[in-house]
Amino acid sequence: MPEAYLTGDWHLASVTAAGLLRLGYTVHLRPDAANVPDPEAFDALTRGERCAEEPGVAEILGAARAAGTLRPVLDRTDAVQVLARADLCLVAHDTGTSPDGTAADPRPAAALAELLAHPGRLGPVVAEGQLKAGSCDAALAAAGLPADSPDLVHLPENLRLGRAVEDFLHPARAVVGCNALDLPPAVRALLDALAPAAERPMRLVEAELVKHGTNAYLACCITLANDLGAIAGRLGADPVTVLDGVRADERVADRAPLRPGDAYAGATLHRDVRALIEHGEPYGRDGLFRAVANANAVHALAPLAVLDRRLDGLAGRTVCLLGLTYKPGVSTLRDAPGLRLARELLAQGAAVTAHDPVAEPTNTGDVRRFHTAAEAVAGADCVALVVEHPAFADPALLASTAPRRPLLLRLTGAEGRSRVPTPPGWTSVDQWND
């Protein structure tokens, strides 16, 4: 049975561990908090508490821990012993960012440096998480390894929340960054087990840039859809009909995210757009990426203008947010659009209540969270539908609530395309035609 040493935490490490276990690996996991092994983090991870309720992960990890194929690495002695026999050493951190998307997390680079320089390491190092272009080459140089060393391979992840295990095990493509002519046998064996539909070998920096470019493209599509949708709405056109017409052109990718809706959120797209701003600035090639980031920020604030008009000012008003998470069906609040909107409302002097049936129990500051929609809506001047969780499709959800004003602001699209009904006697508006 092959063995893998995995350092990381939260969603990416959880899914990677689950995927490797499904492939028959024994996984030695070192949860990492500021480079300090954390027994409590390992326990939480195996209970599925650090994977944003990703389907299937908790069951796989819990069963593997009971069977002894998922094991903690909690001290340096244990790490040395595992590294001496592990076929692969993987770095799988969800890289933290500052509010503007700048990568502000030293852990991935520190883990790469530690593993590449470790004298007793047997297997190659595989970097999975998002890395700013140039990070892998810098890590090789810092470890004193040649630029064409096979010791470091970059396999940038392409995992979608809600189906990440399936994405890991059955990738549509595999971008494989390595500066050596031949991949290490252990990495070749992993790729053969995954059997991606397409494999793209390239250098380390090229793989890093592919990740930046993919996410920047998605951010461009989302921003185009939102800005074109806003113009369409002002001209009396249906934004979705317009964007569907754009998507019908054979030169436009049918699965491109050209749907008017929320501003893009989550650290992933912010981080890669920001990375390309930083890389492009010295050469005067940062303009497009700055424009995308700026347009997205403008769109994120559009609900404030609607609320300000509808409520005759925000100061002293109470706004209830239905849904806070990144998208329907997931629990993560990391850079969630609902929380960003809440912060802006609070800054304008409004009070904010919220109900989200699946969101993780994270401290949300001055946002008052309630277990039921009725409690959250009581006394609100407006209810804003931020996320269309399946539970919100129940017609009874708002039917018996008692807001101060029965006003439903839809941030997810027009009423005719929504699963969430408008209660009798309520006024429904959306930011596209208000």
pLDDT, tens only, 57-87: 999 999 999 999 999 998 888 899 999 999 9
Whole domain around residue 382: which residue ranges?
302-430
Of all residues in the chain, the percent with pLDDT exceeding 90 is 68
Concatenated DSSP letters for 71-124?
Answer: EE--SHHHHHHHHTT-SEEEEE----B-TTS-B---HHHHHHHHHHT-TT--SP
Whether residues 186 and 218 fall in one domain: no
End residue of a domain, out of 297, 330, 345: 297
What's the CATH code of the domain at 372?
3.40.50.720
d(CA 60, CA 222): 34
Question: 318: closest CA among 245, 370, 277?
Answer: 370
d(CA 53, CA 239): 33
pLDDT, tens only, 357-409: 988 888 888 999 999 999 999 999 999 999 999 999 999 888 888 899 999 99
Whether residues 66 and 95 fall in one domain: yes
End residue of a domain, out of 297, 327, 346: 297
End residue of a domain, out of 180, 202, 224: 202
Question: 4: closest CA among 108, 115, 96?
Answer: 115
Q: Is the per-residue pLDDT at 329 higher than 80?
A: no
**For residue 282, what is the enclosing H or E element?**
none
Average pLDDT over residues 53-58: 89
Of all residues in the chain, the percent with pLDDT exceeding 70 is 97
CA 330 to chain centroid, in Å, comes to 10
Whether residues 293 and 309 fall in one domain: no
SS3 201: strand
pLDDT band at 33 (very low <50, low <70, confident <90, very high): very low
**Residues of the chain by 3-state class (helix, strand, coil), percent to 5:** 40, 15, 45
Whether residues 291 and 356 fall in one domain: no
Question: What is the C-alpha end-to-end distance of the chain, expressed in Å?
Answer: 61
DSSP annotation of 166 reads H
Q: Average pLDDT of the chain? A: 91
Which residue reads 């995992």 in tokens?
159
pLDDT band at 326 (very low <50, low <70, confident <90, very high): confident
Average pLDDT over residues 102-114: 83
CB 315 within 8 A of CB 349: yes
105-144 in b/e burial notation, b at 16+ Cβ within 10 A? Answer: bebbbbbbbbbbebeebbbbbbbbbbbbbebbbbbbeebe
pLDDT, tens only, 287-323: 999 999 999 999 988 999 999 999 999 999 999 999 9
Whether residues 246 and 321 fall in one domain: no
Which residue reads 């329907």 in tokens?
328
Whether residues 235 and 94 fall in one domain: no
Non-local (6+) Cβ contacts of 283 within 8 A are none
SS3 222: helix
Q: Is the per-residue pLDDT at 24 higher than 70?
A: yes
Whether residues 291 and 397 fall in one domain: no
Whether residues 283 and 310 fall in one domain: no
Pair of tokens at residue 380 = 């609100």
What's the CATH code of the domain at 264?
1.10.1040.10
Dihedral, 340, 343, 347, 352 alpha carbons, nearest 10: 120
Q: Is the per-residue pLDDT at 249 higher than 60?
A: yes
What pLDDT score was predicted for residue 97?
65
Whether residues 43 and 125 fall in one domain: yes
d(CA 201, CA 177): 6
CA 90 to chain centroid, in Å, comes to 20
DSSP annotation of 163 reads S
**For residue 25, what is the enclosing H or E element?**
none
According to DSSP, the residues that pair with 30 across neighbouring strands are 7
Dihedral, 230, 236, 239, 241 alpha carbons, nearest 10: -160
Whether residues 270 and 335 fall in one domain: no
Query: Is residue 7 classed exposed, middle or buried when 0-12, 13-18 and 19+ CB atoms within 10 A define those classes?
Result: buried
Query: Is residue 52 classed exposed, middle or buried when 0-12, 13-18 and 19+ CB atoms within 10 A define those classes?
Result: buried
Whether residues 114 and 229 fall in one domain: no
The count of domains in the chain is: 3
pTM: 0.88
Q: Is the per-residue pLDDT at 129 higher than 70?
A: yes
Whether residues 119 and 17 fall in one domain: yes
